[in-house]
Chains A and B, each alone.
Chain A
Amino acid sequence: MKRRHAHTQGMIKAAALIMALSPLAVHADSDLEKLLERKTDGVAAQSQNGLVEAIRQMIPRTSPEQNIFLRHIEGGEYDKALLQFSSAFGGTQFERTESGKAILSYLMFKSGLPVTGVEKLFSAVQSPKQLHLQVLSLWRDAVPSSHPVWNSARIVWDEKWRELFGSAVEVKVRTRDVTPSRGVSALKQLAQVAPAGSQERAIVDWNLAIALSLQDQSGEAAKVIAQLLGQKSAPVSEDLMNITAARLLFQNGYMDAALKYYGKVGKASDYWAEAQEEMGWAYLRKGQPQDAIATTQSLMVPALKGWVGPEALFVRSVAQLRVCDYPEVMKTLVDFKSRYKQRAIDLLTLAENPETELVSEVFKRMVAEDLQWQNLGSKAQTLPRATVRDLRLLHLVRSADFLEAESKSANDLFVKSLAQTGLQGTFDAIKKKADERSRSARVAARNRLAELARVEVEQTKRVLDKLHIVEAEVIQQVASAQRLSDVKVASTDVKVGTTGSKAQDTLRFPLGAEVWFDELSHFKVDVKKGCQAKR
């Protein structure tokens, strides 16, 4: 009885082995397994099964190696399927088909090599129209226009891909390196392709507005910005759009309107300090130095050191010079020295060596969050002001992180390939390429930061030179102070400030040594005796 039972078991095992090796058996087996385990088909399972179905349609009779490959796909083990791909399809006709190439790329994409996968797809597949419908659908679902891979993959867009990925991805890829330097006509052309109301269209429009303003077509630029300000999908922050609109108006001499737009930049914005500084210039142009002094008063708060640009102190000193407030001019000059001397030296050091712990920490935070200048705290003192709002730097930092993850995945795959199939040159090459790309993106990010540091040092030096001229002017004017005091002035020159709150009901407080943050941008300066000798 025992022997008979063993014989039956042996028969079952043999039958099971034959069934396992049979192509038809795989299908039946998987269905049976599902039925037994009451597995429900989720979206992932659907796509896995869809891929298996597609391959079956393309290869009616599968070999045992191919069956193993299909089992990996069914199990969602894309990395194993990728490693199995060459054993299953190496040298076959299927490998050379467009769908075969697209499936291999898809496996790379799903195995933690999204950049390599997408790049492989774009370089290997010549005619996307020949792709199996199921493969097309898999790719379309896997890489929507919001996927970060479109920021990092080096691909050349061709119209043939539009049908597969749609115009949103096309614009995303084509606008990736969009800058105003591309020219008005090229940007207008791109704007026609981008779907109206989309984020991509907004990016193109934004760059178009900047390009137009650079070409002195302020009217056209203003129209585009006004349109963007009313849109939900803003390409950049509303504060940046407001400050840009203000700059356009300033550039064309509409000082009052410019001041209105500068005033719209909120205190919490990274652009607030710049807006205040430029407001100072607008007041100076309007012949209201007292208001320029009042506006820049907010920027003198020690806590804002490092966030405020050197130009702010220049405009303040010029305004003080206009009302002959020489002691305050001298104070501003000394203040400039104390604020920017060490900072300039630190930035110079950073420009020479951006490989610091602080930079690494900031880069990590840039990847993890939408970093704001105020969130950096005291660390911001030794970083360029443009660090958190430079889109290129942000792109490079995030790209480096994305590529680093890909590099790690490539390394894991390489190790697995050694264990599973012996040394595989392909994975070694992918690993090396991913390493190199990740490294170069990291270096590019650090170089960009160094460039920003250098630019800021140059800007500080330019302002320093201008302040030396201001000081010379003070010396000259003070030298004639005695002569001025002898001149009899008929009436007192009074300059009443127009800054501070314009609300119907206001509170007035004297300026004290203590700084209250709610008071910032609410200062008012009245000059009673400007440029008149004391009597």
Chain B
Amino acid sequence: MRYFVLLSLLGVLVTGLSAQADEKASSSLEQEFDGLGGNQALLEKARALNPEIATSIVQPREVQRRMRFEFAPEFSGSFGGDTYSRAHSIGLNAQFHINPRWSVGVKYNHSFNRLTAEGQSLVDQAMEDYQANPSDPSARLPNLDYPLNETLALVNWYPFYGKLNLLDRAVAQFDVYTVLGGGSVTLRSGTSDTFTGGMGIAFWMRKNLSTRLEVRYQRYRAQYDSGPQDLDVAVGGIQVGWLL
């Protein structure tokens, strides 16, 4: 029994000493850490010799765009221009990227036209008038000239770039670009020369995949009963492209 008590006391003593040693080691470590870098006065003096250091981030482009082709189907819609009709188009773009700053390409659009509410109202009035007085209708149908298709040659310049955080799941690089071009548009009345200029944003989603949102101004000459008239049209479109 006496031995048991002695052994127990010895055990408690050893455990106590060991715990004390642990605490000592831990507190000495803390002290060593506390003594590091706490000199504020030194920091103030150090600023006198502050060198000029510029840190920047230099990243590769996710999509290499040198001597590369991009094909992009497009859906677009027009605003302005003819008061009585609106055109929606589907088309195909082919771009050749000379380098990340410049690309040249062609665009072909096929248009689908519909009457605006105003145009539809005039047509309805004319129909009513015709039904009321078929021999001598006085109300006239609206004078329309709308695009059927167009072919454009384009030059794109990409002056700005950036990155987009997609909900912390991925990062997409993008380029903001300007577009300038010209070509011909086939109207109901015949063919007319056209020119266009605008800007867009191209997201490079994958090594081969791009998405472009583009807005551009376009002018062409339409033929009306009253004579030719220059139409100013705004076109907004979305393209999803594949890079070869």
Contact = CB atoms under 8 A, between A and B. Distances in A.
B136 interface: no
B10 interface: no
Contact of A508 (B26, B50, B58): B58
Contacts of A330: 37, 39, 42-43, 46
A328 B37 CA distance: 11
16 contacts: A328-B53, A336-B36, A345-B26, A348-B22, A352-B22, A464-B36, A478-B48, A500-B56, A500-B57, A500-B58, A503-B60, A504-B64, A506-B61, A509-B57, A526-B53, A533-B49
Given A323-B51, A326-B50, A464-B36, A475 B42 contact: yes
B117 interface: no
B55 A511 contact: yes
B173 interface: yes
Given A511-B56, A534-B50, A504 B45 contact: no
Contacts, number: 177
Contact of A501 (B25, B35, B60): B60
User: Which one of B22, B39, B53, B100 has the greatest number of beta carbons of chain A within 10 Å?
Assistant: B53
Contacts of B36: 333-334, 336-337, 464, 467-468, 471
User: Which one of B25, B43, B46 has the greatest number of beta carbons of chain A within 10 Å?
Assistant: B46
B54 interface: yes
A324 B51 contact: yes
B52 A529 contact: yes
Contact of B42 (A293, A474, A501): A474
Interface string A495-506: 000011101111
Contacts of A516: 163, 165, 171
A526 B54 contact: yes
Q: Say which size band chain A's interface belongs to.
A: 35 or more
A234 to B, nearest CB: 27
The A interface, classified by DSSP as helix, strand, loop or mixed, is helix
A528 B51 contact: yes
In order of increasing CB-CB distance, the 8 nearest A-B pairs are: A500-B58, A333-B37, A326-B46, A503-B60, A528-B52, A341-B33, A501-B60, A509-B57
B47 interface: yes
B59 A505 contact: no
A267 to B, nearest CB: 13
A69 B38 CA distance: 79
B161 to A, nearest CB: 6
B66 A522 contact: no
Given A326-B50, A341-B30, A516-B163, A524 B42 contact: no
B66 to A, nearest CB: 7
A185 B181 CA distance: 75
Nearest to B175: A507
A518 B59 contact: yes
B99 interface: yes
B64 A505 contact: yes
A133 B161 CA distance: 74
A531 B48 CA distance: 10
A326 B29 contact: no
